Homo-oligomer: A and B are copies of this chain.
Amino acid sequence: MKQPIRIGVLGLGRIGKMHIRNLVAMKDFEVVHGVDPFLNEETEQEMQELGISCSREPEDIFSDPSITAVMICSITETHSDFIIRAAKAGKDIFCEKPIDHNVDRILSALRAVKEADVILQVGFMHRFDIHHSKIQHMIADGSIGKLEVLKITSRDPAPPSMKYISESGGIYVDFMIHDFDMARFLTGSEVKEVFATGTSVCDPQISEYGDVGSGHAILRFENGTIAVLETSRRSSFGHDQRIEALGSEGCAMDDNIYENNVRFFTHDGFHGAKVPYHFPERYKDAYLVELTDFAEAVRQHSVPSVTGFDGLQAVLIAEAAAISAKSGKLEPVRKVTVS
């Protein structure tokens, strides 16, 4: 059997712990150390139970030569710096989305990765969902003919805390970034122009932070495809995640998944099960596939399924969307080259 990849985790919040649980259950990885600047007793104990040492000092990971890969789950502001430090230390990197809110910092990070010739994979787990990826296959292999219109619906069950909103960078870079990435992934083309608009009718408080609760965007791609993205911080029925691809030969649509497939018929109609409440349940399997994919890229030192370039492009689209939401106009997406 292959040796597990010794990995250190930066950021032990909700998403960090979720990844750790997956990593621990996989034979591909051995989680060696966890770091969180706000490490508390509860987390310390959780890590201890999993047999993982932990500390508040990122250097504990970067300076440990036995650790060959890092997973970055810390707050967005720290991502670029951690990527650079990991790259310099020769470690392969898995980084949660978005790479950064700032395009220049992203470019610095990508440059460091390139120089060090390490793997960088970005956490767009939507790509690994079997339903979404079935549609991607059907587009890529021509099953639907020429793709003409792509529609993505992406809704969270409930808005996050206002603190989160205030630090999120806004709905486009924080939330719709998944959908911007999926649109690129599915069309296989780059976005030329974006129109975006939004509203906070679902939670007026969000507008106090200069943000919106629902974001709606139309993307025009270089290959002529149009994508219509429909998102909301709230859909009271759960994590609504659907894709629709209209091609010249037909239309492929996926549906949400359901907790079970029982329908109950009464005098009042029929009733079916809930959709998963939020992304950890909805993308449970996708998170595992994503890590398996990362492990393979690391072992073979090959291009990962989701690259730093992908991470950059999604941020550039988000940037244009945010500008459009203010200007009320179709806005071009910046072209940036990673020198």
Contacts and interface: CB of A to CB of B under 8 A. Distances in A.
A155 B218 contact: no
Given A214-B148, A230-B149, A269-B272, A131 B261 contact: yes
Interface stretch (A59-67, A89-97, A249-257, A293-301): A249-257
Given A197-B218, A228-B230, A235-B246, A263 B267 contact: no
Given A149-B230, A272-B269, A264 B138 contact: yes
Interface in A290-339: 328-330
Given A232-B246, A328-B329, A144 B261 contact: no
Contacts of A153: 151
Interface string A43-59: 00000010000000000
A339 B44 CA distance: 54
A237 B330 contact: no
Given A148-B201, A148-B232, A226-B214, A253 B262 contact: yes
A216 interface: yes
Interface residues of A, number: 70
B228 A249 contact: no
A133 to B, nearest CB: 9
A238 interface: yes
Contact of A224 (B199, B216, B230): B199
A1 B24 CA distance: 14
Contact of A267 (B225, B236, B253, B264): B236
Given A195-B195, A260-B131, A248 B236 contact: yes
Of the listed residues A197, A251, A255, the one surrounded by the most CB atoms of chain B closer than 10 A to its CB is: A251
Interface string A167-206: 0000000000000000000000000010101110110000
B202 A248 contact: yes
Given A199-B224, A226-B199, A235 B262 contact: no
A275 interface: yes
A249 to B, nearest CB: 6
Contacts of A163: none
Contacts of A198: 226
Nearest to A202: B148
Nearest to A230: B228
A253 B145 CA distance: 27
Contact of A138 (B237, B252, B262): B262
Contact of A197 (B145, B220, B251, B254): B220
A270 interface: yes
B218 A195 contact: yes
A274 interface: yes
Given A134-B260, A236-B266, A249-B266, 13 more contacts: A130-B259, A134-B273, A148-B201, A236-B248, A237-B265, A250-B266, A251-B265, A253-B264, A257-B261, A269-B272, A269-B274, A328-B330, A329-B330
Minimum-distance CB pairs A-B, first 8: A250-B266, A237-B265, A328-B330, A201-B224, A255-B261, A134-B260, A254-B262, A270-B272
